[in-house]
């Protein structure tokens, strides 16, 4: 079974046409991979479908805009994957 | 339909918020300035307006699910297929269903049929955001009444 990171990096590679070797757990989706908001919509839709969750993008955006967290918390892939794992665990609980 | 005003939906004929589905009637006008250019001597409904018709129908479904508190803006059209020409005067039946209700976005699958035959279909994605101003919100409430969206959805919007 694929890990969360393998699934997410595969989605990003396929959806945004980014070569897999350019994607690492430390990659920032926006700053490093250049994913724009429209492409991120595709990524979010694919992640929501793949994991059966609803990523709270609006809440995350509010948190970033309010200065509570940096974009790294949600857009660095290892952190994004950790957040996805949390959402999956919450859904299963 | 009043093509030149982008009024594509005439009447919502079915709305099921549990199944997250909608159906609407859209009557292509016999005459419109649009047909003068598309095309001279061979008037047909432009494919982009078929897409707009599906987007507006799905948009009413998203608006209804949010009880008209948020506005869906068209962001993306996937797998759009225009399967047949649509002539002036054609009665269209449009259906849409929620594929995914995300955080700040929604995905809808929609189709148009004429005389029981599918003439177009697409997957449509919207950004779903608070109304940017009161003017648009008031206009959408007026339009909701025109297309016969259930009145109870409009209260509290």
Q: How far, in Å, CA of A57 to CA of A74, rounded?
A: 9
Please, is A60 exposed, middle or buried when counting C-beta atoms within 10 Å of its C-beta (0-12, 13-18, 19+)? buried
Q: Does the distance separating the beta carbons of B102 and A45 come in below 8 Å?
A: yes
Q: Where are the domains of chain A?
A: 4-92
As a whole number, mean pLDDT of residues A78-84 equals 96
- Residue in A42, A49, A58 closest to B103 by CB: A58
Beta bridge partners of B114: B92, B117
Q: Which residues of A touch B101 (CB under 8 A)?
A: 54
For residue B58 the two structure tokens come to 């799905």
How close does chain B come to A23, measured CA to CA in Å? 25
Counting the structural domains of chain B, the total is 1
* A49–chain B nearest CA distance, Å: 8
Amino acid B156: pLDDT: 63
- List beta partners, residue B27: B91
Q: Is residue B150 part of a domain?
A: no
Q: Is residue B26 part of a domain?
A: yes
Q: How far is B125 from chain A (nearest CA, A)?
A: 9
Q: Which two tokens stand for residue A69?
A: 């967290």
- Whether B149 is covered by a domain: the verdict is no
Q: Which CATH class is domain A4-92?
A: mainly alpha
Neighbours of B130 (CB within 10 A): 10
Cis peptide before B39 (omega within 30 of 0): yes
The whole-number average pLDDT for the span B17-30 is 97
Q: What is the DSSP letter of B142?
A: H
Is the model's pLDDT at B157 over the cut of 80? no
**What burial class does residue B38 get, using C-beta atoms within 10 Å of its C-beta: 0-12 exposed, 13-18 middle, 19+ buried?**
middle
Contact B70, B128 (CB under 8 A): yes
Q: A93: pLDDT confidence band, cut at 50, 70 and 90?
A: confident
CATH number of the domain enclosing B37: 3.10.129.10
φ and ψ at residue A75, rounded to 5 degrees: -110, -15
% of residues, chain B, pLDDT over 70: 99
pLDDT at B90: 98
- Cα nearest neighbour of B125 on chain A: A41
pLDDT at B67 over 70: yes
In chain B, pLDDT over 90 holds for what percent of residues?
Answer: 95
The domain of B110 spans: 3-144
pLDDT score at B32: 96
Q: Is residue B152 in some structural domain?
A: no
Instruction: Check pLDDT > 80 for residue A1.
Output: no
Closest in B75, B76, B103 to A54, CB measured: B103
Q: How confident is the model at residue B152 (pLDDT cuts 50, 70, 90)?
A: confident
Mark whether B38 is an active-site residue.
yes
Quick one: tokens of A81?
Answer: 């994957």
Q: Give the pLDDT score at A92.
A: 87
Does B85 reside within a domain? yes
List CB contacts of B101: < 8 A, sequence separation 6 or more: A54, B20, B65
Chain A contacts of B76, Cβ < 8 Å?
A: 38, 41-42
Among A19, A42, A2, which Cα is nearest to B75's? A42
Q: What is the pLDDT of residues B93-118, one digit of tens each?
A: 999 999 999 999 999 999 999 999 99
Chain A residues with CB under 8 Å of B125 CB are 41, 45
User: Which among B76, B100, B127 has CB closest to A48?
Assistant: B100
């Amino acid at each position: 079974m694929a890990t969360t990171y393998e699934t997410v990096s595969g989605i990003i590679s396929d959806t945004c046409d980014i070569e897999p070797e350019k994607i690492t757990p430390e990659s920032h989706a926006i700053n490093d991979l250049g994913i724009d908001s429209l492409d991120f919509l595709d990524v979010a839709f694919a992640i929501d479908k793949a994991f059966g969750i609803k990523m709270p993008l609006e809440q995350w955006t509010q948190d970033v805009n309010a200065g509570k967290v940096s974009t790294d918390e949600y857009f660095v892939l290892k952190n994004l994957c950790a957040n996805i794992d949390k959402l999956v665990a919450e859904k299963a609980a | 339909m009043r093509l030149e005003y982008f009024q594509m939906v005439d009447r919502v004929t079915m709305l099921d918020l549990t199944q997250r589905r909608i159906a609407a009637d859209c009557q292509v006008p016999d005459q419109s300035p649009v047909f003068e250019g598309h095309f001279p001597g061979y008037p047909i409904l432009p494919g982009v307006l078929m897409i707009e018709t599906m987007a507006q129908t799905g948009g009413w479904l998203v608006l209804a699910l949010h009880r008209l508190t948020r506005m869906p803006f068209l962001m993306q059209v996937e797998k759009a297929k225009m399967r047949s020409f649509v002539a002036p005067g054609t009665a269209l039946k449009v259906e849409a269903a929620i594929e995914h209700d995300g955080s700040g976005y929604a995905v809808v699958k929609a189709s148009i049929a004429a005389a029981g035959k599918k003439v177009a279909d697409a997957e449509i994605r919207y950004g779903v955001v608070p109304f940017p101003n009161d003017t648009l919100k008031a206009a959408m409430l007026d339009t909701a009444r025109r297309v016969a969206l259930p009145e109870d959805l409009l209260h509290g919007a």
